[in-house]
Structure 1
Amino acid sequence: MAAALRCALCSCLLLRVSGIVPKPQNARIISVNLRSVLQWDAPRFHKGNISYTVQSKSNIFPGEKYKSVSTNLRLTECDISFLSPYGHYVLQVRAESENNHSKWVTVRFNPMDDTVIGPPDVKVESESGSLHVDFIGPFAEHEQDRWSLRQLYGSWKNRILYWKKGSHTEVNHIETEHNSYIISQLEPWTTYCIQVQAVIPEWNKTGELSGELCEQTTHNGVTPVWIIVTVLIGSMLVVAITVLVGFFSFFYLYRLTRYVFCPSYIFPQHLKEFLSKPPSGSQYFSSLPQEEHLFYDKLTVISEESKNLSNGSGDETSKTSEHLQDSELEDSDS
């Protein structure tokens, strides 16, 4: 009876020392790509406001003391991404209300071992009967810093899983140390689905799978005839159009240059006709209008000598008159 009373008194004393504040529940660390957060569940406490304090210490040095990480927390989580990824840590959290507090809840944490490797970013393209797969990341991010997890872990491989869509029983595996890979020898015009994950042999870790990407292959590398014909016809049309445009451009420039530097002059047609005929008096008079006619009268010239010779023989007088008539006829004809 006395022993039971002493135990009850001890329990009451312990509750008074701890402030009868219950401790946090289900403390755990969520870490993805070294982005780490300590989380816990709030205890049932209805006697006032409650806050939390988080402390940490390195587990490498046994004599090291706890250092305060955060105090007077109102949320049930604490970001611990600032811790070195190569360390081994012990973290503890307790609940507090006014001047009372709960017991510590302890969690051990090894970032490189405990963090989850997320999926990489994957891009798939179909070309010539093959699938070109490119992947990048994942990356560790903290505040403004961003670095590749591959640089931290050293040995790193990317595992590619692919299969025909609708047939998950035949899944093929390929591992590569590069950030891209060409999956060849695939059936043409067939849809394949792909997922990629990181594999770290030295740490015995496997990353999460990327989202499922499905892409259809085109042909098996042999270009169809219709594509060749289309390309040839298109090329010929382009060449023909280029030649025609060049020809007309040259012809236009030629004519423009000739018009500017060597202008053409059209000789009047009536001058051409006039100059094409040989010069002639008869032709000139024949070209005169038909209405114009020459009229003349008979003219007899009697000189002083004819008067003196009037008494001469009649034959000479007649000869003289005939001679004058003949000369007048020649003048008229001319």
Structure 2
Amino acid sequence: MAAALRCALCSCLLLRVSGMMPKPQNARIISVNLHSTLRWDAPKFHTGNISYTVQSKSINFLGETYENVSTNLRLTECDVSSLSPYGDYILQVRAESENNHSDWVTVRFKPMDDTIIGPPDVKVESESGSLHVDFIGPFAEHQHDRWALKQHYGSWKNRILYWKKGSNTEVNHIETEHNSYIISQLEPWTTYCIQVQAVIPEWNKTGELSGELCEQTTHNGVTPMWIIVTILIGSMLVVVITVLVGFFSFLYLYRLTRYVFCPSYIFPQHLKEFLSKPPSGSQFFSPLPQEEHLFYDKLTVISEESKIQSNDSGDETSKTAEHLQDSEPEDSDSRKGPSEKA
């Protein structure tokens, strides 16, 4: 340990004397779903401002020179996802400070081989005693683009692993080229756990496993009787309550309308009795009562002008009065009927 430390110190002194910068350390590629990043560690035993330059070169074409991927980097990483996924590259990085720079550190990079295939998105549903498994992805993303990794690789399969939860039974696996699968012939009312991963035989690659999802099966798709009875009773109660509420609401509105537009009225009892009797002809066509005899006295009006003449005709007036008095008994006797004269 002490010898290694002495060697490091000696190399650092030699670099300072020669004016050269130390190289970046631990250069590596981190790539998931073709999203790739070149990372490295900063040089040791160096102070001051440091920047980095990253270059790339394709091995597929002989004589091709290095091209700058990024310059004047302040971070110790560089996104290299813009490189073609089907290429084979050599990446190199060096440290720079003022007029000094370090030696290049190189890394070989094959995106299709080096990238890690991430897990797909999985959805599990229990139906009719089986488990319906749906999965999608994984996807490659770069800037605003998003595409399925399945498009880049020739052969692509999805491997489904399932087992009983809480048991030591072996794990079963199924491979399919489709994005969904129905796992049948499972034990009823049993919880199974499922994971899915991508398998690419042509590239000898296996993707990462998805998260563990657990779901319980039913009894051959037959719903238990107690659930059916509960649902039926609940439905009947809802119907009965709805009918009762509707009936009492209608009755209330009917009474309210009748009270407003047709108020109650008691017909007089004496009119009921009168109208209940049959009509009689004698009541409508009875003869009129006979006229009663009217008795009256004769009234004489004498004016002032006739007073003068009254003295002259006094004798005549007295004679006329006597004559009227004598005639009244005769008139009264003539108006009496035969029975009264008798």
**TM-score (ref. length: structure 1):** 0.71
Identify the residue that residue 71 of structure 1 maps to in structure 2.
71
Contact 1:121 1:137 in 2 (8 A): yes
After superposition, the CA RMSD in angstroms is: 3.6
How far apart in 2 are the matches of 1:101 and 1:138? 41
- In structure 1, runs of 5+ residues without a counterpart are 1-10, 284-302, 306-319, 325-334
Contact 2:15 2:22 in 1 (8 A): no
Cα gap change, 1:196/1:280 in structure 2, threshold over 3 Å: closer, same or farther? closer
Identify the residue that residue 166 of structure 1 maps to in structure 2.
166
How far apart in 2 are the matches of 1:200 and 1:177? 11
Identify the residue that residue 142 of structure 1 maps to in structure 2.
142
Give how far 1:119 is off.
Answer: 0.7
1:27 aligns with 2:27: yes
Q: What SS class does the counterpart of residue 270 from structure 2 fall into? A: helix
Which residue identity is paired with 2:116?
V
Give how far 1:206 is off.
Answer: 0.8
Contact 1:19 1:101 in 2 (8 A): no
1:238-317 to structure 2, matched below 5 A, reads: 238-244=238-244, 267-278=267-278
Which residue identity is paired with 1:229?
V
Q: Is 60-69 or 40-49 further displaced after alignment?
A: 40-49
Identify the residue that residue 181 of structure 2 maps to in structure 1.
181
Q: What SS class does the counterpart of residue 270 from structure 1 fall into? A: helix
Which protein has the larger Cα radius of gyration, Structure 1 or Structure 2?
A: 2
Identify the residue that residue 132 of structure 1 maps to in structure 2.
132
1:211 aligns with 2:200: no
What is the number of equivalent residue pairs in this alignment? 278
Contact 2:159 2:198 in 1 (8 A): yes
Contact 2:22 2:46 in 1 (8 A): no
Which residue identity is paired with 1:201?
P
Contact 1:56 1:90 in 2 (8 A): yes
Give how far 1:67 is off.
Answer: 0.6
How far apart in 2 are the matches of 1:46 and 1:248? 91
Identify the residue that residue 236 of structure 1 maps to in structure 2.
236
Structure 1, residues 138-175: CA drift from partner, whole Å, max 9, x if none? 11111222211122224322111111123355100011
Q: Is 139-148 or 247-256 further displaced after alignment?
A: 247-256
Contact 1:19 1:102 in 2 (8 A): no
Structure 1, residues 217-257: CA drift from partner, whole Å, max 9, x if none? 34332221112222332333344445555656676777788
How far apart in 2 are the matches of 1:47 and 1:221? 71
1:21-60 to structure 2, matched below 5 A, reads: 21-46=21-46, 48-60=48-60
Cα gap change, 1:48/1:249 in structure 2, threshold over 3 Å: closer, same or farther? closer
How far apart in 2 are the matches of 1:232 and 1:62? 78
How far apart in 2 are the matches of 1:17 and 1:54? 26
How far apart in 2 are the matches of 1:16 and 1:45? 10
Structure 1, residues 241-296: CA drift from partner, whole Å, max 9, x if none? 45555656676777788889988875433201122235689x9xxxxxxxxxxxxx
How far apart in 2 are the matches of 1:163 and 1:279? 102
Which residue identity is paired with 2:163?
W
Identify the residue that residue 116 of structure 1 maps to in structure 2.
116
How far apart in 2 are the matches of 1:278 and 1:77? 119
Instruction: Report percent identity of matched pairs.
Output: 87
How far apart in 2 are the matches of 1:162 and 1:233? 38
1:188-203 to structure 2, matched below 5 A, reads: 188-203=188-203
Contact 1:18 1:101 in 2 (8 A): no
How far apart in 2 are the matches of 1:74 and 1:260? 89
Contact 2:126 2:132 in 1 (8 A): yes
Which residue identity is paired with 1:86?
Y
